[in-house]
Chain A
Amino acid sequence: MMRIKRTGLITILVVLLVGMSFSHGAEIEKKPVLHVQPNKIHIGSFFKGQKVKIFGYVPVSWENIAIKICGSRHDVALKRKGKVGVLWMNVGTVEVKHAPNFYLVATSANINQLAPKPILDQTEIGYEALAKEIELHSTVPGDSPEFLFKHFVALKEKEGLYSILPKRITFNKAENKNLKAFSLELIAPAKIPPGEYKVTLYGFDNGQLMGSLESFFHVELVGFPAFCRNLAFKHSLIYGILAVVLAIIVGFLMGVVFGSKGGH
């Protein structure tokens, strides 16, 4: 009797454990995965930008996805050009507050197809949403925030630090029946400032935000550029004197080298 009871208990436990493991496995299989490669970008002497690959898996139920890369936020001081008579000149200044030093959004569809505006604003996807997070003040009367933001973005886009890449993310062959693979390749520009960058993956289905996932990558100066920048900012007087002394030595040496070849 005792033996039958024990066997019954063991059977129930095994059934429970197997059931639990199955349900947990199914949960894992549905969870999105986000990878950034490389997660450390080193700026050395010959750095001219670097290819970054962002890839992973999302549930098949996520119809569209967006990836947002955001750098740290700073205040920026700008000069505003304007026309006085027939001449174009600086007519005032513009203060930009809380602007990310890097902003990139890549999507699998057009931005307006992802979700309604309130959700895009909440996730800060797209320039319209970003504009609401940045404060712009101009000393020129009549400058609207929309006008200033448009020209601020144009300046940042020219440097390669702001960009919107619609339909750039591609979905690949499904990993299993619950997940589908995605990938995005982009170039971290030569002007990318050192610091930490947050990569956020957003999933949408029928205009609804289904979920999000975060990852990070770091950009840091190494070697001679790091030494130089450190010296220039932390020991600026020594740096200035060294720059002058080295310039005089090089100039003088070149003079001597050329002088010895000449007839004088």
Chain B
Amino acid sequence: MSWWLYLPIAGTSINIFLLFGLGGLVGLLSGLFGVGGGFLMTPLLIMIGVPPTVAAASDSNQIVAASTSGCYAHYKLGNVDFKMGTLLLIGGVVGGTVGVKFIQILRALGNADFVIKVTYVIMLASIGGYMFYESLQSLKKAKAPQISETAEIEPKPSAFSRFVANLPFQMDFPKSGVRHSLFLPLILGTFVGILAAIMGVGGGFIMVPVMVYLLRMPMHVVVGTSLFQILFTCINVTIMQSYMNHTVDFILALILLLGSTIGAQVGARLCKLLKGDQLKLLLACIVLLVMVKMLVGLLVTPHLLLSYKGGH
């Protein structure tokens, strides 16, 4: 029996173990950090010979399984804030629609690709850099004086905090232990939705820092809630891509999701073993690595000057 599998929509054959391994790696990140992994998996699939459009769409399909598995695991651990997740999701859908329109206008102007790539690098560099610096500082502070592990350092009331506190319709989010206006998660969800649509990703790696730093949610709840939101985003993307572009390769997604669901479970357990700041530091390193890879792609002369239309 051959260990190579023919992917009917991708139109090529790939080693089963390689696909399973890639799925496992991305699932691990999903369970560990609450990110969908699309920003990492899609380039990896393209590297092993999957056409870009099929890679992006099939990746969404496998993230549905990984986030179902991860979300279920986090739900059992009490880490999903459904109230916050639903509000962010509504904002995300609105933002996604606005972002898609924005991209259509940019494409008509001919600048879309430039804006997408530069947005990607700036977002990854700023999020990754800030998370890296902040989590490193927190880890240093935690080591110096004896502060209780669960104690949160009270941030100084900034202009943003004062603005947020004055917004109407304040409500409690008991699972996250925070009080915010109804509009804050809606506005932030919209913002992430716009960015995610521009960059063509699920937005997990932007949503996680937004929840941590702007919504002040505890890291473990952030991961579960992010997975809840990603699940619905990817369901929508998978159905739309299948219907409009015929680019979802279910066989590819199936092997990836078998690997990723196992990886997600391992990730969810590792997540509980690691401290919030350690998780943030690890995610920051991965985000910065992807940023460096993208920057190299922008600066180094490509091997091929032509590529098939429709990919990232």
Contact = CB atoms under 8 A, between A and B. Distances in A.
Nearest to B112: A90
Contact of B261 (A89, A237, A242, A255): A255
Interface string B280-312: 000000000000000001111110111111110
B242 A255 contact: no
Nearest to A252: B68
A159 B113 CA distance: 24
A248 B64 contact: yes
B6 A44 contact: yes
Interface stretch (B8-16, B134-142, B153-161): B8-16
Contacts, number: 188
Nearest to A94: B306
Contact of A190 (B6, B65, B66, B264): B6
B2 interface: yes
A255 B69 contact: yes
Interface of A: 43-49, 76-84, 86-91, 93-94, 148, 151-152, 154-155, 158, 190-191, 193, 221, 224-226, 228-229, 232-233, 236-237, 239-244, 246-248, 250-252, 254-256, 258-259, 262, 264
Contacts of A241: 239
A89 B73 contact: no
Interface stretch (B123-131, B185-193, B218-226, B246-254): B246-254
A121 B200 CA distance: 44
Interface of B: 1-2, 4-6, 8-9, 11-13, 49, 61-62, 64-70, 72-73, 76-77, 113-114, 117, 235, 238-244, 246, 248, 250-251, 253-254, 257-258, 261-262, 264-265, 269, 297-302, 304-311
Given A78-B306, A252-B68, A243 B113 contact: no
Contact of B117 (A89, A228, A237, A244): A89
Contacts of B306: 78-81, 94, 148, 151-152, 154-155
Given A225-B8, A262-B269, 12 more contacts: A46-B4, A48-B6, A76-B308, A94-B306, A151-B305, A154-B304, A191-B11, A226-B8, A237-B243, A240-B240, A251-B66, A255-B76
A208 B254 CA distance: 55
Contact of B5 (A46, A94, A155, A259): A46
Contacts of A81: 302, 304-307
Leading 7 A-B pairs by shortest Cβ distance: A240-B242, A251-B68, A255-B72, A254-B261, A251-B65, A48-B4, A190-B13
B interface, over-half SS:
helix
A165 to B, nearest CB: 21
A93 B309 contact: yes
Contact of A240 (B5, B11, B243, B309): B243
Contacts of A152: 306
